[in-house]
Structures are given as structure tokens and as C-alpha cells.
């Protein structure tokens, strides 16, 4: 897809790509609410990978604010540009602990069953696509934000505990700590 965008930019279409980690804090429809926090109200979290691996996350309000600031600078950019948004690069344990603090209770962690996703992948395109990204939960990774910072300055960054608590409130957990 990116190659096609680059080719289109060569023909005159302006393209800005802002890479970010898995998004949370925007309501429903992400890994965070569909898998990880689905049962947090009952004291359970399902995590897709090993808890000691760093995974990149983007709190949606911060990402959106960065997108707006980036869009404001689009006139200074080339026809095809890519940027990274660093967000929260945290281990699974740090994410789960932040959720427990927000819920003000202990949470039990269970691992996601990737074999089920892979089995579903034999029957659906969505399952196949999910199975293809399993490695992102097993391989530590961070997104560099140096280029973005050099263009727009300091990035919006809500502290993890506040971002998680707000995300959980938006998902219908009104008792999540402030």
C-alpha cells in the first residue's frame, strides 16, 4: 500500500504517513477494548503477548493532536513524507499494572490464544490478517519520533496512568481512577 502511495506521490498526489502503535482511548474498535480490556471490569485482562515484551501504543487524543499539528505544517513538506509517533512504548506488565491501578483492583492476566486466531484465519481474511501480526506481540519494538519532533516540536503525551484511566472510563468503567 505504501509503495502505491509513493508511486501516486510521484504523479502529484501529496502523501503524509504517520506511523503509530496500537491505538487506545478512542472508544470501541481497538485491540485495547476488543481483547485486552474486554473483561477488566471482572478483574481479567487478556494480553496478546509475553508481559515482558515492549509494545508500542498510541493514546488516540495525543495522536490526533499530533496529526493536526503535522497537517498544519504540510505546506513545508515534500510530496511523500513519513513520520513516527512514539506514544507509549511499555511492556505488557506495565500496561496491565496501569489498568489495575485505574480499576483500583488486582487483575488476573490470561494469554490470548493465537492458535484460535490462526484457525479462524483459515476461514476469514480478518483472521489471516490478525495472525500475520502476531510477531508484533513477541518482538519488542519502538517507533522513533525524532523526525516528527524536529518538525512540530514536543509531542502531545498524556501520562500512561491517566490515559489508561480515561480510556477505561470511555469504555464504560466509570469507577476508573482519575
Looking at residue 176, its pLDDT comes to: 72
Global pTM value: 0.89
CB 56 within 8 A of CB 143: yes
Q: How many CB atoms lie within 10 A of CB 87?
A: 28
Q: Which domains does the chain have, with CATH numbers?
A: 2-170 (3.40.50.720)
H/E element holding 103?
helix 92-103
- Joined grid coordinates for residue 103: 480499576
Cα separation of 108 and 110, whole Å? 7
What is the tens place of the pLDDT at every residue in 32-45?
A: 988 899 999 999 99
Tens of pLDDT, residue by residue over 42-92, are 999 999 999 999 999 999 999 999 999 999 999 999 999 999 999 999 999
pLDDT, tens digit, for every residue of 109-143? 998 776 666 666 677 776 667 677 777 888 999 99
Amino acid at each position: 500500500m505504501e509503495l502505491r502511495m509513493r508511486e501516486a506521490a510521484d504523479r502529484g498526489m501529496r502523501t503524509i504517513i504517520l506511523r503509530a502503535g496500537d491505538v487506545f482511548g478512542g472508544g470501541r474498535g481497538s485491540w485495547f477494548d476488543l481483547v485486552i480490556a474486554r473483561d477488566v471490569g471482572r478483574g481479567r485482562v487478556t494480553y496478546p503477548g509475553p508481559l515482558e515484551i515492549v509494545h508500542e501504543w498510541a493514546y488516540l487524543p495525543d495522536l490526533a493532536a499530533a496529526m493536526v499539528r503535522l497537517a498544519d505544517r504540510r505546506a513545508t513538506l515534500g510530496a511523500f513524507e513519513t513520520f513516527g509517533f512514539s506514544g507509549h512504548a511499555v511492556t505488557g506488565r506495565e500496561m496491565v499494572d496501569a489498568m489495575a491501578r485505574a480499576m483500583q483492583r488486582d487483575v488476573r492476566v490470561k494469554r490470548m490464544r493465537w492458535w484460535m486466531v490462526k484457525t479462524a484465519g483459515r476461514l476469514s481474511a480478518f483472521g489471516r490478517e490478525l495472525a500475520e501480526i502476531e510477531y508484533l506481540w513477541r518482538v519488542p519494538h519502538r517507533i522513533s519520533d525524532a523526525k516528527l519532533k524536529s518538525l512540530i516540536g514536543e509531542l502531545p503525551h498524556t501520562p500512561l496512568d491517566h490515559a489508561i484511566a480515561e480510556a477505561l472510563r470511555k469504555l464504560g468503567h466509570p469507577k476508573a481512577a482519575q
